Amino acid sequence: MKKLLPAIMFSLCLTAFSQSVADYVNPFTGTDHMGHTYPGATVPFGMVQLSPDTDTVPYSTGAGYNKEVYAYCAGYQYRDNTICGFSHTHFSGTGHSDLGDFLLIPTTGPLKLNPGTKDNPDSGYRSRFSHERESASPGYYSVMLDDYGILAELTATERVGVHRYTSHNQGDINLILDMSAGIYNYPGKNTWQFIRVENDTLVTGYRQTRGWARTRTMYFAMAFSKPLVHYGHENGEEIIYRGFYRKFNEKEDFPEMAGKDITAWFRFRMQAGEQLTVRVALSPVSTAGALNNLQTEAPRPDFDLVRLQAHERWNEELSRIQVEGSLKVKQNFYTSLYHTFLSPTIYMDVDGKYRGLDQNIHQAEGFTNYSTFSLWDTYRALHPLFTLVQQERTSSMIRSMLAHRKQSVHGILPVWSHHANENWCMTGYHAIPVIADAYLKGIGGFDAAEALEAMDASATYAGYDGIGEYMQYGYAPADLTGNSATKTLEYAYDDWCIARAAEKAGQKGLAGIYHRRARSFKNIYDASSGFMRPRLSDGSWQKDFDPLKTEGQGFIEGNAWNYSLYVPHNPAQLIAWAGGSMPFVRHLDSLFTMNLDEKHIEDSEDIDKRGIIGNYVHGNEPSHHVPYLYSFAGAPAKTQERVHQIMDALYQPTPGGLPGNDDCGQMSAWYIFSALGFYPVCPGSNEYVLGSPSVSRAGIRLENGKTFAIQAKGLSEKNIFVKKITLNGKPWSGLFIRHEDIMAGGEMVFEMSSKPAKIKVPESDLPGRSF
């Protein structure tokens, strides 16, 4: 029979907080289907992401990739009705995964040391649950574990996850610690695990895994609020050599546990209504580092204090942008802002020590070391958002990238890195636009000469992913490297960013080299079809070309219709190829109104119909700038109409409310910019293309002490078109605003109308005129 905690006990998780912007956040947004977010407890950019895992679907059981695992990139799926436990590390919104360290779950009754299955939960330690007895807010998560009558509550500091378990019944609780559980697991992923019971209230240990991060080590220190009375473990691996440990009964009350497949248990005597608080500190360095993190950030088992501090941290960070608007708009906005502040994540101990890419221990001097750089996604809007509202963190993130380059045996900047590892995921060398964009916007705190050298080294590393062939042929040949058209387009844009940075640094020769490379996109434009197209090393075009299809067409996570518009540094050339502004506008209209049928996306697990309008794929990143290209052709009303269509149709503050993987905040960052009324089409240009706000008012609190205010007069569901704009009371005729204009503070007022404004935009006022 399911056991229900009395209402008076359940009210323990409903501690009242004053009304704040954090109250508009719904952490469940994107937890169903494609969003791949997690609902658990964390603080802004925290190293701990303490969240429930609702199933144990493996990446593989030895018979190839298991497609079902894709839904569990963040460990949680809203449609599930069982919880396996609460692990301490998660990615937010990724399309591939890892992590899920140190899964804990409290149980009662017979000891079970495997998770069981969702079809037969009684076969393991997992518990049934319902969404009616589940809640989440920034920095807090709670759920009733129905099978055990235990209320589980979670909160966190930057490096410590804090659990509180309130038992309905009197009797023993077994706290299960599954060291082998993990996300995207497979046989052999866990290479070593070690646990020490230091005393009856303290346990330390670590585990090593080889997954997306090939060589990953995480340490922990776990403190209990009451003494354990009994403990033990099972090791599921086959052991050939036992040495002289056979002298002991290692399975029960033996204070050292080591192996590759350990599930430990710790028993506590509990009174009805009594609470057990468990603090779990993480460290990438050592158990001593984890203990220091624990003593510094959560020295006492005071769950409510940590929860209050986490809420205050979130409210402070989310208040960097204050908005007014409808309830739905505020919920969408602050949930999106919440998601953008989840990563990159802090990756160092409180004393500044961290594990580097070389697997040695380094000391961060004068900066915070960050990890989880999903750069193929986040260079587009997430990092440009940080250049407005997280400038100090931006400086540290860039220094973290430069440190990565020093520790790299390849001598290059990160591609997609996490937890002291380069996982090499996706295409391009997109640390470059992040660094160049910050440098060109005047963000300091890092060595500009070192940064430029690192960008040049990364762009000339011939052995990596077709770069050598790209430099040789002027494009990446399809017969010599995969996803060749995507690489050519992305390398060309990244090269333009280097050219811009070199110009600012006064290195004209280097700038010239990269400006020439930035024109490489022209080499894969097929005038006969009007699309970018994969080209072979002999100069011929790849045959059997289908511009509606993604797989096998030289593109990654996008088709030729979408990718052929990816020249953010030279939209004027796209317009010229189309035959002028009006034909280009008609081409964009076709993209949004034509039909992309199922057969053209059935092989692409990252693309789903719920994130598509016509053939415009918003559910993946390569097209995020496309709605703003109308403005380059002098049709800003089309941009205004499309961005509202996307915001209204594809973003909802619900579990299924994201149009695709949030990808470490990029999907959400698109919404933030668009809701404010401008977007960074081309990071590195210092220009944001104006759109149409969905907030009626906004105030961006800048780190220089100034505020940039936005007002949309007359905004309504019908009044989405911009009639006129003023900046600080003066008419603004341009279709862009520069970064310097925003950082100077002031107010931009949009006067809204139900009808498109009939305006003739002078060529000199078109955005990107200096690209």
Tens digit of each residue's pLDDT (9 = 90 or more) over 419-452: 999 999 999 999 999 999 999 999 999 999 999 9
What is the rounded (10 degree) CA torsion for 604, 605, 607, 610? 130
Structure-model confidence comparison of residues 604 and 197, the more confident one: 197
pLDDT value at residue 18: 42
Residues 6+ apart with CB under 8 A from 695: 323, 324, 325, 329, 333, 675, 676, 710, 712, 715
Whether pLDDT at 5 is above 50: no
pLDDT value at residue 597: 87
pLDDT value at residue 10: 34
pLDDT value at residue 711: 98
Average pLDDT, the chain: 95
Q: Is 213 left (phi over 0), alpha (psi -120 to 50) or beta?
A: beta
Share of the chain above pLDDT 90, in %: 91
Q: Among 62-71, 156-165, 280-289, 324-333, where is mean pLDDT lowest? A: 62-71
pLDDT tens digits, 526-557: 999 999 999 999 999 999 999 999 899 999 99
Query: Of 414, 22, 70, 68, which is closest to residue 213 (Cα–Cα)?
Result: 414
Residues 6+ apart with CB under 8 A from 602: none
pLDDT, mean of residues 206-235: 98
Q: Six-digit token pair at 717?
A: 């569901």
pLDDT, mean of residues 254-274: 97
Whether pLDDT at 385 is above 60: yes
Q: Is the peptide bond before 344 cis (omega within 30 degrees of 0)?
A: yes
pLDDT, mean of residues 716-745: 96
pLDDT tens digits, 673-694: 999 999 999 999 999 999 999 9
Give the pLDDT band (50/70/90) at residue 193.
Answer: very high
- pTM over 0.85? The answer is yes
A 10 A CB-CB count for 636 gives 25
Whether pLDDT at 307 is above 90: yes
Give the pLDDT band (50/70/90) at residue 17.
Answer: very low
Half-sphere exposure of 567 (CA within 13 A, CB side): 26
pLDDT value at residue 686: 97
Q: Answer for the pair 454, 479: CB distance below 8 angstroms, yes or no.
A: no
Give the pLDDT band (50/70/90) at residue 761.
Answer: low
Q: Answer for the pair 457, 404: CB distance below 8 angstroms, yes or no.
A: no
Q: Answer for the pair 343, 665: CB distance below 8 angstroms, yes or no.
A: yes
Residues 6+ apart with CB under 8 A from 249: none
pLDDT tens digits, 640-672: 999 999 999 999 999 999 999 999 999 999 999
CA distances 448 to 386, 399, 409, 685, Å, are: 18, 10, 22, 17
Edge-to-edge order in the sheet of strand 721-727: 321-324, 697-701, 707-713, 746-753, 721-727, 730-731
pLDDT value at residue 764: 59
